[in-house]
Copies of this chain bind each other. A is one copy, B any other.
Amino acid sequence: MKTKDTTNTLLKLRKVMASAIYTNHPLKAIIVPSSDAHQSEYLAECDLRRSFISGFTGSAGTAVITQKEAALWTDGRYFQQAEQELDTNWILMKMGLKDTPSIEDWLCSVLPEGSYVGVNPFLYSSSSWNKMKIALEKQGHRLLETTEDLVDQVWDNQPVAPATSLVTVQENVAGKTVREKLNDLRQRMIKNGVNWLVLTALDEVAWLYNMRASDIEYNPVFFAYSVVGFNSTHLFIHQNRITDEIKNHLTNDVTVHDYDSIIPFLEQNCSSEKTWLSTNSSHAIVSAIYQIYRVTTMYSPVSMTKCVKNPTEINGMTVANNRDAVALCRYFHWMDMEVPKGNVTECSAAAKSLEFRQQEDGFVSLSFATISSSGPTGSIIHYCPNKDDDKPVKADQLYLCDSGAQYRNGTTDTTRTMHFGTPSQHEKDCFTRVLKGHIALASVVFPEGAKGFWLDTLARMHLWKAGLDYRHGTGHGVGSFLNVHEGPVGCYIGNSSRVVPFAAEVDLKPGMVITDEPGYYEDGKFGIRIENALLCKKAETQHNFDGKEFYTFESLALIPIQQKMIDRSLLTEDEVNEHTIQ
């Protein structure tokens, strides 16, 4: 990780800010979030504006540049990396620490009276925009939309927006035709009393049109918007991407518009009619509709439908997980043979697991960068092995591998922790407690109406008994040949439960797929995580209190838990039986 000299770029940026070319007023500050116009979690190269301007390359962070100062906010995972990458132009704002001001508080403390602050309105969600606007206006400042992104103006050699090949997903994989999905959506629109529905999240557009691409690494999506009316369906995408095959697939039902025409289209057709928007959509999109005509929900109806997999998708997720299990079983067997010889590194191990996966039918790509960590690096929760600082996988250390893949019919995400020598009693004790939590969640039966976060305590209680815990959520939704992190369902009861998208107050329903991934991490020593994707399904219970249905989970991942890591004396008979650990 290198420090980036940002002096010249900041100089240029401040000139642009002062020039008032892209706003009506000279700007005293701009905010550069880690985001794209679709509020994606993973970004394409061309959208790494915050990385470019600050030098800090971590996945989460916000840069704020005033005429005199520059500051970067990031969280605990990235303090060390940010300290290395930021040059002396930058103040590092360590989020979560008591004395760190919020962006709005800091801005109000440094800005001269009556300042104008600019943001690219496509990069800020409607809800974030409103929050910032209110905070700034309270102190007499104004938040302005810039007509172009200011960072783009000073970014020489900015990569071009990706436009990878579009492929279609057939009905025997998607389970529903585009026409059926549109019909379902229109029923929901009627119920909600709206004339139009606007979709901005890339995975929602990909799902609706049964199309995939690879515009963003690990995410089989393409840059596009969609607007659905009662008599018309509109897809906004760079037109030169529409091949004859795609044209046939879309039929005459769908009108294709250029990607950049979304705002004028909304203004001309939807702005004065009841229009359904997600508050997670960009401020630019939401503000194209007159306020009184906006019908906003946190989650779009596609997001709520997509997270419940249909029988064909469930079958696909099962097949994908079976194929992935074959690859991972071969991989861990290989590790078992090779690690003791002393020639395996974190990077070579990750490469080997990819090799085994590539041999499986329907493999498309990984679903995220493989976490392959030996000993101390396992305690870094979002660790990724680095070629420039590759580390050996040692036989006397715990090895944690969190990996997943995109197959043509499903997405996988699995973590196993293994020891290729002799684990210590302490490691076994911790591992077994993590396993007990994993089993408790995997085997719970719960009534309809239960939310994911209701079940989080089950995954933690055995660790708590020993005074242990982990600093991350227990589960997130998984897409079906889509994003490996898919909202809105999840399992996290912690303080942030109302904030993070994967822990929301959404009822668990049969067909949902969530991960079950408790862990335990000892800083500088080791990390343990056991993760399976679970399918929610109807439970056959003896009774049905209140006429309610009861649900449970089925594990999709079929990769063994390493026997030598288990302290059998800590398991109950039920735990052994329910997981057939023999």
Contact = CB atoms under 8 A, between A and B. Distances in A.
A544 interface: yes
B458 A445 contact: no
A541 B458 contact: no
Nearest to A542: B466
Interface stretch (A6-14, A282-290, A305-313, A545-553): A545-553
A471 B541 contact: no
A500 interface: no
A464 B493 contact: no
A446 interface: yes
Contacts of A573: 572
A342 interface: no
A542 B520 CA distance: 15
Contacts of A493: 454
A545 to B, nearest CB: 5
Interface of A: 444-447, 449, 454-458, 461, 463-469, 471, 493, 495, 539, 541-546, 548, 550, 572-574
Contacts of A446: 457, 461, 464
A554 B457 CA distance: 20
A464 B546 contact: no
A467 B543 contact: yes
Contact of A545 (B454, B469, B545, B574): B469
Q: Which of A541, A545, A573 has the most CB of B within 10 A?
A: A545
Nearest to A549: B467
A449 B496 CA distance: 12
B461 A444 contact: yes
A344 to B, nearest CB: 31
28 contacts: A444-B461, A445-B461, A445-B464, A445-B465, A445-B467, A446-B461, A446-B464, A447-B469, A454-B456, A454-B457, A454-B493, A457-B457, A457-B458, A458-B458, A458-B461, A464-B541, A464-B550, A465-B541, A466-B541, A466-B542, A466-B543, A467-B545, A468-B545, A469-B546, A469-B548, A471-B546, A572-B572, A572-B574
A532 to B, nearest CB: 19
B572 A467 contact: no
Contacts of A464: 444-447, 541, 550
Contacts of A543: 466-468
Given A446-B457, A466-B542, 15 more contacts: A445-B461, A445-B465, A445-B467, A446-B464, A447-B469, A455-B457, A457-B458, A458-B461, A464-B541, A465-B541, A467-B541, A467-B543, A467-B544, A467-B545, A572-B572
A466 B540 CA distance: 9
A541 to B, nearest CB: 3
Q: Which of A449, A466, A544 has the most CB of B within 10 A?
A: A466
A544 B468 CA distance: 6
Nearest to A575: B572
Q: Which of A455, A543, A548, A574 has the most CB of B within 10 A?
A: A543
Contacts of A447: 464, 469
Nearest to A456: B454
Contacts of A548: 467, 469
A331 to B, nearest CB: 31
Contacts of A469: 447, 545-546, 548
